[in-house]
Amino acid sequence: MIKFFKDRIDEKTYLLLITILMFIVMYGAGMIIYADKGFAKPQMFFNLFINNAGLIVTAVGMTMVMITGGIDISVGSVVGLTCMMLAYMMEFMKIPAGLAMAIVLVYGILFGCVQGFLVAYLKIQPFIVTLAGMFFCRGLTAVINSEMINISNAVFLKIAQFKIYFPFLATLNKKGKLITPFIYPSVIIAFVVLILIYIMLKYTKFGRAIYAVGGNEQSALLMGLNVRATKMKTYIFNGFLATLGGILFCLNTCAGFVEQARGFEMEAIASSVIGGTLLSGGVGNVIGSLFGVLIKGTIESFITTQGTLSSWWTRIVISLLLAFFIVLQSIFASIKAKNK
Amino acid sequence: MSKLFQKITRSQLFLPIVALILVLVFNVIKTPTFFKITIMNGTLYGFIIDIINRASELVILAIGMTVVVASSAGTDISVGSVAAVSAAIICYSLGPSQEAYKVPYLVGIFLGLMGGMLCGVWNGFLVAKMKIQPMVATLILFTAGRGIAQLICAGQIIHVEKVEYRLLGSFLPGVPLPTPVFVAILVIVITWAILRYTALGMYIQAVGINSKAGRLVGINSSAIIFLTYIYCGLCSGISGSIISSRIAACDANNIGLNYELDAILAVALGGNSLGGGKFSLAGSVIGAITIQALTTSLYAMQVTADQLPIYKAIVVVIIVAIQSTEFKKWFSNLKRKYAIKAEAAS
């Protein structure tokens, strides 16, 4: 039986399958246990995407970095900084929403350049570089403003609250009122990014180079790939995606404050790892990361629907899940090593 | 003469000591009374005393971090959270009563330290047995740790009202120096003695330089790495107990916040390679004191606590970049080029 699986499914698909199965089981269980609290409603399902659009984009960037064998723990504070920058620019400097977003994205690219240079060209451990990056951005957020800023920019709010309805999924609520499930534009952006990056990783030269570099740096170098440039570009992409994720996150919260998105990096890393990205690099899939994000969202929904548990439980459960999947990965790796 | 100069600059302690002197000189220029120490109510007061006092918990953390870095070539980024967990356990077990502790004082401290060691066991298990990258493995406790601490305190800040609880973080009666300094010195001496008079120090270096080679010469690599993580957990626990004693409470959100960066910075500043292997405890201790001096002087310059990380992050990146082999290669290439040019000119 085990041999049957071993022959047909390799570890990557195995991990991905476990993740998808886990999500279906968890959500299914939620639908049965909390049926009376609206867990089975389509809107509840769409809320998963609405609440986590930013995380999806960030996790996609994280997956790219992790495929090269690196890691980026600065994304949480980059997201926090993005929100603060947007809020400050729009509220105090009266910069139009579009320009503010563009400035933020440019900052993300520059930040990615610096981190990428330090990792790829000076060969400093990615963890140390991005740990410093994490504290840098968190500090910068506090330098910009230490108070909470609510965004009241008309254009920004319009984008944030523009509802896209799905009339064919409409259901009646208890009072007989018709409820049409909806999503916000942020979800669409997240999906466009997801699909674009999926295609890029799968079918472009750069995408394949990322896998090659992560799989074995020496071989990639001998194959004639420019390892350093590939790594650097990945970090630039990641910086861009982290700020884009930050914008989507901000569209959801419409505010900027220092403590925002603390622990976000953990959620992004956990989503990638749960989605089957190997920490050692070379293996990973953005679709898996999407399911990782959805699992995290489901746990959150469980905890909010349950009502009495403290929100700290989300983080603890995510950490445990991360630990579980990391251990699973290491078991797979040791099986592989034995088979050789 | 030049040989002596070279010997001094090549020494591992050169960079940390120069950095410390730089920070101190800067402070003296800004505040001329910097080195003044006065006696008030039988205890010593002054900037220097304050820095050494505040640096104690960082010194302890840096020692734990040093052995972890040396053995596993990775850093333990959960130290701050683990400190919070220990503090939470201690405050929870001692209880908020003004008259008496719920359990004897030493039992409470012991439980807290055991909690810290347990976290170390978890980290060590993931790193040594499951062969997971140290920073990813410790990332789990880095985020979950504060959640666990919150759960222990039930989301509240437990104040330990009994006055004696503050002794660990302030002054013992009749002793002019703050207690944390003695604790830090004790930890330094014990660690130094263990590493100096047993083969453990040698083993740690051997494992850190090449764990496979270490295993081949008969060292149980994973056991050594496991041990260093437990020790690091214990150190985090000790510093957690000191921090919580300073404020006589457990504030799960703020105890040990950002200490992981400070501890890594202390190790890096102490001239220890973050790539594992050779290490110097003295370097880390001086590094930790330098960082505390830097923090204190930044506070004096009206930098708020949440803006502080920005400066430290820049310092970390600069130090690590200078340490990196690529930079050294680039630098020596540049030097060679200049030498050739000079030769050609003459």
For A114-168, the pLDDT digits (tens) are 999 999 998 888 888 898 898 899 889 988 988 888 888 888 888 888 888 887 7
B153: tokens are 């305190």
Option in A123, A136, A334 nearest B313 (CB): A136
Option in B136, B143, B317 nearest A118 (CB): B317
Q: Which chain A residues are Cβ-neighbours of B327 within 8 angstroms?
A: 122
Q: Is A125 on the interface with B (CB under 8 A)?
A: yes
What distance lies between CA A7 and its chain's CA centroid?
32
Residue B325 has pLDDT above 80, yes or no: no
- Say yes or no for a CB contact (<8 Å) between B316 and A71: no
Q: Is A133 on the interface with B (CB under 8 A)?
A: yes
Examine residue B85 and state whether it is found in any structural domain, yes or no: yes
pLDDT at A211: 93
- Say yes or no for a CB contact (<8 Å) between B77 and A131: yes
Examine residue B258 and state whether it is found in any structural domain, yes or no: yes
pLDDT at A247: 94
Q: Is A316 on the interface with B (CB under 8 A)?
A: yes
Q: Which of the given ranges, A107-116, B122-131, B207-216, B302-311, has the highest pLDDT on average?
A: A107-116
- Say yes or no for a CB contact (<8 Å) between B313 and A310: no
Instruction: Report yes or no: A246 and A235 within 8 Å, Cβ to Cβ.
Output: no
Residue B104 has pLDDT above 80, yes or no: yes
Examine residue B300 and state whether it is found in any structural domain, yes or no: yes
Q: Is A121 on the interface with B (CB under 8 A)?
A: yes
Interface A-B: count of C-beta contacts within 8 A: 127
- Say yes or no for a CB contact (<8 Å) between A127 and B135: yes
Examine residue B317 and state whether it is found in any structural domain, yes or no: no
- Say yes or no for a CB contact (<8 Å) between B155 and A139: no
pLDDT at A180: 81
Counting beta carbons within 10 angstroms of the beta carbon of residue A31, is it exposed (0 to 12), middle (13 to 18) or buried (19 or more)? middle
pLDDT at A340: 65
User: Phi and psi of A304, rounded to 5°?
Assistant: -75, -35
Query: Does the complex come out with an ipTM higher than 0.90?
Result: no
pLDDT at A257: 84
Q: Print the domain residue range for B242.
A: 12-36+47-308
Q: Which chain A residues are Cβ-neighbours of B309 within 8 angstroms?
A: 135-136, 138-139
Q: Is A5 on the interface with B (CB under 8 A)?
A: no
What band does B319 get if pLDDT is binned at 50, 70 and 90?
confident
Q: Which chain B residues are Cβ-neighbours of A73 within 8 angstroms?
A: 139
Residue B156 has pLDDT above 90, yes or no: no
Interval B64-102: pLDDT, tens:
999 999 998 888 989 999 999 999 999 999 888 777 888
Q: How many angstroms separate the Cα of B86 from the Cα of each of B89, B90, B117, B145, B251?
A: 5, 6, 9, 10, 11
Option in A122, A136, A279 nearest B136 (CB): A279
Examine residue B340 and state whether it is found in any structural domain, yes or no: no
What band does B327 get if pLDDT is binned at 50, 70 and 90?
confident
Residue B286 has pLDDT above 60, yes or no: yes
What band does B154 get if pLDDT is binned at 50, 70 and 90?
confident
Q: How many angstroms separate the Cα of A307 from the Cα of each of A37, A300, B327?
A: 11, 11, 54
- Say yes or no for a CB contact (<8 Å) between B143 and A263: yes
pLDDT at A8: 55
B242: tokens are 């000191």
Instruction: State which residues of chain A have pLDDT below 50.
Output: none
B158: tokens are 């437990």
Q: Is A335 on the interface with B (CB under 8 A)?
A: no
Mutate to test the interface with B, among A124, A262, A328 (most CBs of B within 10 A): A124
Counting beta carbons within 10 angstroms of the beta carbon of residue B36, is it exposed (0 to 12), middle (13 to 18) or buried (19 or more)? exposed
- Say yes or no for a CB contact (<8 Å) between B264 and A124: no
Q: Which chain B residues are Cβ-neighbours of A264 within 8 angstroms?
A: none
- Say yes or no for a CB contact (<8 Å) between B324 and A124: yes
Q: Which chain B residues are Cβ-neighbours of A256 within 8 angstroms?
A: none
Q: Is A139 on the interface with B (CB under 8 A)?
A: yes
Q: Helix A185-203 crosses helix A42-67 at what angle (to 10 degrees)?
A: 40
Interval B231-272: pLDDT, tens:
999 999 999 999 999 988 888 888 888 888 889 888 888 888
Q: Which chain B residues are Cβ-neighbours of A146 within 8 angstroms?
A: 304, 306
Examine residue B316 and state whether it is found in any structural domain, yes or no: no
- Say yes or no for a CB contact (<8 Å) between B310 and A136: yes
pLDDT at A136: 92
Reply yes or no on domain A9-32+48-339 having CATH 1.10.3470: yes
B237: tokens are 């626990």
CATH code of the domain containing B66: 1.10.3470
Examine residue B285 and state whether it is found in any structural domain, yes or no: yes
CA distance A73 to A77: 9
Examine residue B254 and state whether it is found in any structural domain, yes or no: yes
pTM of the model as a whole: 0.84
